[in-house]
Structures are given as structure tokens and as C-alpha cells.
């Protein structure tokens, strides 16, 4: 593609810069010296994709090899898609403007089930056959990685293979194998490569077949191993970008991001990330300090964010923050700490937080009563919430955002009403705190409740649980709305039930769903996670056309022996352990976090938590 072809009409689209590349830190190489080309495709907008750490890691990792060139492509917004289709411009890499259908690989990251139709749309815009079976030697190899690959079955027919688990090491193993075969002049390179790539640990290829369409059990037709997820060997030594792209236009998370922990000790039973990213590993303070310095020096970002599922679980969090503070303070850099659990707040930490987050504080109690929080193993007590709010209020914060889920297993009306009560007590606490501090003219408090619909995800103890029906969720939403109606200081937002329903189906689905996804895309479905794009009727029609009942996938409880479509993938989480957790959940029995006690989830020697715990007391 030629820049001049685009130039003519580019001013008719919104934020044209995001389709033109050329950002500081983007990597342009001399084409004549390149042996292998890779297109990293993010099936959502530029603003979301560029905020994603995984993209930045893999982009840096692949481009570190002189002879490999990784470029980017994102899902175009409607106006730009129209331009591409009208002008017959094929989807191109942002770095070279070359059509990605001519690359060796196109890799998608699967972050969100409701972006699946965007994948088909991008393949179509690229001019690549959508179904793996229709591709020939002339086509690139289409692969996927990312968290949704823990159940890739609904997309199975579209990809040549999937990469299960952490990508830092396996990506290069895959590319090196391919390049070796390419340089040695392998005939029918594409099919030969696809025949052998399954020998790499973490690759899930088309060798696995469903043994019959009606049972979801999946077997391997050759003697290939069970695909198991990859775990990087050492988080302190593993590749982390020093230089990264700084977009021209504002993106969702426009700051330097430092991953401090991978995995989570908490074991909240609804949280897929908490299970599939195990084992728990943390970076050393020196590593974090060094990586942040080089990132900030290179990018010039004015904020750095510490990223993890639960940052305050770092065994040396105070020491870490004190160390980082020396650098950030003297360089006028703000520190943003999302994912801080409130039960660990000390005054020092809170004052740290307040420096950047002058606006508000966010908590995720997820459930309104202690009983239900025990069921989901979210070990936050009301006292802890109040304590954290109180110190936040003394720092001048007046707005609190609370995240809840509706439709959790065993939930009853009392649990819903308790959400409103909790919010009201936080408001009371606001006034009493300010009164005791003699603050005269206080801003009115503002509580925002976000109540989403619970989705039972694979590889969690709730994989056996049903999703609440539309009637149940409507009832719960009404109940909550009425309970807070009188109070104008509390506002509540819900997501569209049907969207969560679709997300659950796609998360739990089997291979039969690829036909449905294809039909939905044909009917114009894309950006299904966006309210203004979501076309529920088109989805329903797509299910009907393919004789698939969507309700079969999510509205019932499963027993221990049921074969899930993801059971053949090894994430080192024992199904017995998950079942056991599910039984405990129903009785409201909590499970201690991994630091307190190991529950033998199945990771065995792959888990190093005892070593991490011990190191806390050295020095």
C-alpha cells in the first residue's frame, strides 16, 4: 500500500494518526535484510490495543532479532474500514504499509471473547481466507495466543494453531523453527511447518480432533502430547521492553507500564486470571527499579503504572515503593497503583496512592454480604473496606467506585440489598470522618456502583456453575435500583445482560460455535463488546440458522464427570481441585491464599511460592 493512496481521504476519518504509524519507538527495518515478517494483530481499537502490555512485550521481543520484523495492525473503526473497503486497500502493517497477507505470520491476541468477530473482520480486510482449511501455501500462517486460548475451541476452525500460556519463550521457538525450515528451502513450507510445529510445547494444532461432533471430548489423532501451557522460566530474566512505542494520540492507558507480579495468590473463585496465570511470581525490586528507569527514560512518560492482578501482594511492597519513590519523585513522575487490595493499606501506601489518584478510589468487593464473599473466596471484610475508605476520606477523596457482580452462585435478594446498605454506610462514614476532622465545607460524597453479570469461566471453580438467566438478572437489577433509588449520592450502572450471556457462551463454547461466529460476522457483527455496535438479534439468528441452542452452553450446572470443551488442555490446574473448590463454595467455606497455605491446585513443583515467602525475611 502506498501512503499517497491513503492521503487523499485520510482526513475524513477520526484520529487519522492511529492508522499511519510513525510513532516514537515504532520500529522500521530495512526490508531487504529481513527473513521473517510477523503481523501482530489486536482485534480491537488502536487505543485499547496499544494499552496492552502483551503487545509491547512481543513486539519488542520479536524485533530484537535483526532478521525478524514484527509490525502491528488493529481493528479499524467504522469510518476507516469504509475507507479501506471503498479504496480497496488491504489491511497493512503500520510500520511498512505492506499488506499483511504477504507476511509469514499473522498473530492475534485473544483478550476478550466479544472481540472474536473482529478477528474475522480483520482477516477479511487482510484478504486472507477465514477458514484454516481454505488456506494454501500462498497464505500466511494464522495463529493466536492470549488468555482466551484456554478455551480456543469456538475459534478452532479459523486458526492454524494456538499458543497456550506465556508467549515470551515459545514465540521465538516457533519463529526460529519456521525460519530454519524456510532458509533450508523446504518445499511446501507452510504445510510442512504445520505438520511439525506441534512438537513445540505450548502449541495446540489441528492434530487434535473432536472424536464426534455431539460429544465435546477432544482427542489427538496422532500420538502427540496433550497441549500444555507454557510458563516462562524466570520472570526476572525474561524479556521486558526497554524501548516501547509512545503513541501520538491519547490511548486508554497512556503511561509506562511495569509488570511487577505474574499470577495471584488469592484464588477468588470467579477470576479466570487468578487460575490460568499461576504460579505466583514476583519481580525483584532491583529488576523493577531498573526496568522502570529505562522505560521512563526512553518514553518520557510522566506516569508509571505498576501492573499485576494484586500489586499489594508483592512480598516487599513497602520497600519497593520506597525505592521507586526516590526515582519518580526526583523526575516528576507520578506512580499509579491499580489493583491494590484494600486489606493491606497502610497510611504510607495510601498517601502514595493519593499523589496520583486525586480523583477517587476503586474497590471490588464483588458481593454485598460476607456470606457471599466467602462463597466466591473474596476475602475482604466490611471493616477493611471502611478502614480504607476512612483513610481515603481524610486525604480529601470524595468519590468511591465499587465493583459488584450479579448472579453469583447461591446469591439471594439479601445479598443484593446489602450492596445498597454498604454504599449507604460508606456515605455515613464520609460525613462522620469529615466531622471528626472538623472539615466544614466538604464536597458531597459520590458512590458509583458498577454491577456486571457474573460469567462462569473455564479453569475456575465456577466452571461447573450455571450463569443466571435473563429473568433472574433483571430481577436483581430492579431490586438494586429500588434499594438505592432514594439516594442521589449513589449511582449504579449495569452492563447489558445479553452481552454477558454471549461472552459466557463464547468463553465456554465448543467447535460447533465457529459456524455461529462466522454467520454473525456475515451479518455485520463486530465490536460486540461495544454497546453501540452490539447486534443481539443478528446473534440470535446466527444461532438459529446453525441449529444451535445458545442456552445449552451456560444455564445449567455441570457435574464432576462432564467433559468440558477445554478439558484436554493442560493448565496444571487439577479438575479435582476445582471441583473441590466448587463444593466448598456452595457451603461458604473459604480457601486460604497461597501464601498462607498451599491447596495443591495441581501446579506442584512449578510453583515457587514457598521460596518467595522465605525471601521476604532474608536481609
Partner 1 sequence: MSNNFSYRIIFSKADTAVYISHLDVMRTFTRAFRRAKTPIYYTEGYTKRPLLVFPYPLSLGIGGEKEILDIKTTVEIPDVNDFMTRLNAVLANGIRVNEIISSEFPPVNYAIYEIISSAIISDVMVNDFLKQDSIQATKFSKKKGDIVFDLKPYIKMIELVPNENIKVILPVGELSNVNVNVFIKAFSDFVGFDSNGFYAKRTGFLP
DSSP-assigned states of every residue in 536-588:
HHHHHHHHHHTT--THHHHSS---TT---TTTTSB-S--HHHHHHHHHHHHTT
Least CB distance to ligand SF4 at residue 280 (A): 6
For residue 364, give every residue at least 6 positions away whose Cβ sits within 8 Å of its Cβ, in sequence order, or none: 378, 402, 403
Least CB distance to partner 1 at residue 37 (A): 20
The item of partner 1, ligand SF4, none sharing an interface with residue 561, based on CB under 5 to 8 Å by kind, is none
Please give the residues from 287 up to 346 whose contact with ligand SF4 meets the rule CB under 6 A.
none
- C-beta of 340 vs 603, nearer to ligand SF4: 603
- C-beta of 399 vs 599, nearer to ligand SF4: 599
Least CB distance to ligand SF4 at residue 594 (A): 3
Strands (DSSP E) found in 394-457: 399-406, 446-453
What SS3 state is found at 129?
Answer: coil
Please give the residues from 166 up to 205 whose contact with partner 1 meets the rule CB under 8 A.
none
In this structure, the strands spanning 303-307 and 261-262 are unpaired
DSSP-assigned states of every residue in 271-318:
-HHHHHTPSPEE--HHHHHHHHHHHHHHH--SEEEEESS-GGGSTTHH
From 59-67, 105-113, 378-386, 602-610, give the range in contact with ligand SF4 by CB under 6 A: 602-610
Q: Is 125 exposed, middle or buried (0-12, 13-18, 19+ CB in 10 A)?
A: buried
Least CB distance to partner 1 at residue 537 (A): 37
- C-beta of 248 vs 551, nearer to partner 1: 248
Give the up-direction half-sphere exposure of residue 41: CA atoms within 13 A in the CB hemisphere.
31
616 near ligand SF4, judged by CB under 6 A:
no
Q: How far apart are CA 406 and CA 96, in angstroms?
A: 46
The item of ligand SF4, partner 1, none sharing an interface with residue 587, based on CB under 5 to 8 Å by kind, is none
CB 54, CB 146: distance < 8 Å:
yes
The residues pairing with 474 across neighbouring beta strands, listed in sequence order, are: none
2 near partner 1, judged by CB under 8 A:
no
What SS3 state is found at 103?
Answer: coil
One of 5, 7, 67, 199 touching partner 1 (CB under 8 A): 7
- From residue 238 to residue 257, the character string flagging contacts with partner 1 as x (rule: CB under 8 A) and all else as - is --------x-xxx-------
Least CB distance to partner 1 at residue 97 (A): 10
- C-beta of 441 vs 486, nearer to partner 1: 441
Long-range contacts of 576-579 (CB under 8 A, 24+ apart): 577/601, 577/602, 578/459, 578/460, 578/461, 578/463, 578/464, 579/461, 579/464
From 120-128, 326-334, 432-440, 603-611, give the range in contact with ligand SF4 by CB under 6 A: 603-611
- From residue 290 to residue 329, the character string flagging contacts with partner 1 as x (rule: CB under 8 A) and all else as - is -------xxxxxx---------------------------
One of 353, 405, 420, 607 touching ligand SF4 (CB under 6 A): 607
For the beta carbon of residue 559, count every other beta carbon within 10 angstroms. Answer: 7
Least CB distance to ligand SF4 at residue 314 (A): 16
- From residue 386 to residue 415, the character string flagging contacts with partner 1 as x (rule: CB under 8 A) and all else as - is ------------------------------
Least CB distance to partner 1 at residue 354 (A): 13
Considering CB under 6 A, how many residues would be counted as binding ligand SF4? Answer: 10
* Cell of residue 216, nine digits: 465435546
Q: How far apart are CA 267 and CA 583, in angstroms?
A: 15
CA separation (Å) from 462 to 6, 271, 279, 578? Answer: 49, 9, 19, 8
Q: Cell 501446579: give the residue.
A: 603
15 near partner 1, judged by CB under 8 A:
yes
From 81-89, 188-196, 431-439, 591-599, give the range in contact with ligand SF4 by CB under 6 A: 591-599
609 near ligand SF4, judged by CB under 6 A:
yes
Q: How far apart are CA 69 and CA 60, in angstroms?
A: 10
- From residue 546 to residue 585, the character string flagging contacts with ligand SF4 as x (rule: CB under 6 A) and all else as - is ----------------------------------------
598 near ligand SF4, judged by CB under 6 A:
yes
Burial 566-582 (b: 16+ CB within 10 A, else e): bbbbebbbebebbbbbb
* Cell of residue 398, nine digits: 470524595
The item of ligand SF4, partner 1, none sharing an interface with residue 279, based on CB under 5 to 8 Å by kind, is ligand SF4
The item of partner 1, ligand SF4, none sharing an interface with residue 332, based on CB under 5 to 8 Å by kind, is partner 1
For residue 55, give every residue at least 6 positions away whose Cβ sits within 8 Å of its Cβ, in sequence order, or none: 40, 42, 49, 72, 109
- From residue 251 to residue 280, the character string flagging contacts with ligand SF4 as x (rule: CB under 6 A) and all else as - is ---------------------------xx-
Helix count (H) and strand count (E) of the chain? 21, 17
Q: Which of 348, 347, 356, 310 is nearest to 329 (CA)?
A: 356
Q: Is 473 exposed, middle or buried (0-12, 13-18, 19+ CB in 10 A)?
A: buried
- From residue 41 to residue 70, the character string flagging contacts with ligand SF4 as x (rule: CB under 6 A) and all else as - is ------------------------------
21 near partner 1, judged by CB under 8 A:
yes
The item of ligand SF4, partner 1, none sharing an interface with residue 20, based on CB under 5 to 8 Å by kind, is partner 1
CB 420, CB 377: distance < 8 Å:
no
Angle, alpha carbons 494-277-40 (nearest 5°): 80
164 near ligand SF4, judged by CB under 6 A:
no
Report the chain's C-alpha Rg in angstroms.
25
The item of partner 1, ligand SF4, none sharing an interface with residue 601, based on CB under 5 to 8 Å by kind, is ligand SF4
- C-beta of 203 vs 265, nearer to ligand SF4: 265
The item of ligand SF4, partner 1, none sharing an interface with residue 209, based on CB under 5 to 8 Å by kind, is none
Chain positions contacting partner 1, by CB under 8 A: 3, 7-12, 15-17, 20-24, 246, 248-250, 297-302, 332
Binding site for ligand SF4 (CB under 6 A): 278-279, 594, 598-601, 603, 607, 609
Amino acid at each position: 500500500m502506498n501512503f499517497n493512496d491513503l492521503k487523499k481521504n485520510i482526513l475524513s476519518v477520526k484520529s487519522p494518526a492511529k492508522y499511519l504509524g510513525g510513532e516514537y519507538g515504532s520500529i522500521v527495518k530495512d526490508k531487504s535484510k529481513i527473513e521473517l515478517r510477523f503481523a501482530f494483530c489486536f482485534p480491537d481499537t488502536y487505543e485499547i490495543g496499544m494499552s496492552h502490555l502483551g503487545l509491547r512485550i512481543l513486539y519488542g521481543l520479536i524485533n530484537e532479532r535483526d532478521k525478524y520484523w514484527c509490525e502491528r495492525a488493529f481493528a479499524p473503526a467504522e469510518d476507516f474500514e469504509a475507507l479501506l473497503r471503498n479504496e480497496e486497500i488491504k489491511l497493512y502493517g503500520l510500520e511498512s504499509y505492506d499488506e499483511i497477507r504477504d507476511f509469514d505470520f499473522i498473530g492475534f491476541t485473544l483478550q476478550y471473547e466479544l472481540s472474536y468477530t473482529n478477528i474475522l473482520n480483520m482477516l477479511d480486510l487482510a484478504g486472507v481466507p477465514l477458514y484454516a482449511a481454505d488456506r494454501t501455501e500462498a497464505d500466511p500462517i494464522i495463529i493466536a495466543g492470549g488468555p482466551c486460548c484456554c478455551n480456543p475451541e469456538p475459534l478452532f476452525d479459523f486458526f492454524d494453531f494456538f499458543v497456550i500460556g506465556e508467549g515470551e519463550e515459545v514465540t521465538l521457538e516457533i519463529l526460529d523453527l519456521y525460519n530454519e525450515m524456510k532458509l533450508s528451502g523446504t518445499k511446501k513450507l507452510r504445510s510442512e511447518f504445520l505438520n511439525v510445529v506441534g512438537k513445540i510445547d505450548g502449541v495446540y494444532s489441528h492434530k487434535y480432533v473432536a472424536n464426534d461432533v455431539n460429544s465435546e471430548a477432544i482427542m489427538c489423532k496422532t500420538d502427540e502430547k496433550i497441549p500444555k501451557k507454557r510458563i516462562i522460566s524466570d520472570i526476572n530474566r525474561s524479556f521486558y521492553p526497554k524501548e516501547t512505542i509512545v503513541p501520538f494520540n491519547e490511548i486508554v492507558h497512556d503511561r509506562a507500564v511495569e509488570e511487577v507480579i505474574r499470577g495471584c495468590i488469592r484464588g477468588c473463585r470467579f477470576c479466570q486470571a487468578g487460575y490460568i496465570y499461576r504460579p505466583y511470581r514476583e519481580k525483584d525490586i532491583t529488576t523493577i527499579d531498573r526496568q522502570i528507569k529505562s522505560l521512563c527514560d526512553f518514553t518520557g512518560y510522566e506516569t508509571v503504572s505498576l501492573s499485576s492482578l494484586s500489586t499489594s501482594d508483592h512480598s516487599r511492597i513497602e520497600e519497593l515503593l520506597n525505592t521507586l519513590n526516590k526515582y519518580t519523585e526526583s523526575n516528576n513522575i507520578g506512580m499509579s497503583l491499580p489493583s491494590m487490595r484494600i486489606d493491606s493499606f497502610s497510611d504510607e501506601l495510601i498517601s502514595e496512592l493519593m499523589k496520583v489518584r486525586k480523583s477517587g478510589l476503586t474497590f471490588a468487593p464483588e458481593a454485598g454480604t460476607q456470606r457471599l464473599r466467602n462463597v466466591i473466596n473474596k476475602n475482604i471484610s466490611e471493616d477493611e473496606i471502611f478502614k480504607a475508605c476512612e483513610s481515603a476520606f481524610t486525604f480529601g477523596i470524595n468519590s468511591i467506585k465499587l465493583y459488584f457482580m450479579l448472579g453469583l452462585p447461591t446469591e439471594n435478594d439479601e445479598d443484593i440489598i446489602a450492596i445498597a446498605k454498604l454504599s449507604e454506610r460508606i456515605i455515613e462514614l464520609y460525613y462522620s470522618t469529615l466531622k471528626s476532622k472538623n472539615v466544614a465545607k466538604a464536597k458531597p460524597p459520590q458512590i458509583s456502583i458498577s454491577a456486571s453479570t457474573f460469567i462462569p469461566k473455564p479453569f475456575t471453580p465456577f466452571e461447573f456453575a450455571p450463569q443466571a438467566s435473563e429473568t433472574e438478572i433483571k430481577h436483581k437489577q430492579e431490586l438494586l435500583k429500588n434499594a438505592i433509588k432514594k439516594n442521589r449520592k449513589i449511582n449504579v450502572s449495569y452492563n447489558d445482560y445479553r452481552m454477558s450471556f454471549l461472552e459466557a457462551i463464547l468463553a465456554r463454547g465448543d467447535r460447533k460455535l465457529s459456524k455461529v461466529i462466522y454467520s454473525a460476522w456475515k451479518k455485520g457483527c463486530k465490536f460486540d463488546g461495544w454497546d453501540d455496535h452490539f447486534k443481539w438479534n443478528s446473534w440470535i439468528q446466527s444461532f438459529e440458522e446453525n441449529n444451535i441452542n445458545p442456552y445449552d452452553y451456560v444455564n445449567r450446572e455441570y457435574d464432576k464427570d462432564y467433559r468440558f470443551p477445554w478439558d484436554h488442555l493442560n493448565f496444571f490446574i487439577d479438575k479435582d481441585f476445582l471441583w473441590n473448590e466448587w463444593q466448598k463454595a456452595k457451603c461458604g467455606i473459604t480457601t486460604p491464599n497461597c501464601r498462607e497455605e498451599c491447596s495443591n491446585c495441581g501446579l506442584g513443583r512449578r510453583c515457587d511460592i514457598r521460596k518467595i515467602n522465605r525471601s521476604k525475611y532474608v536481609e
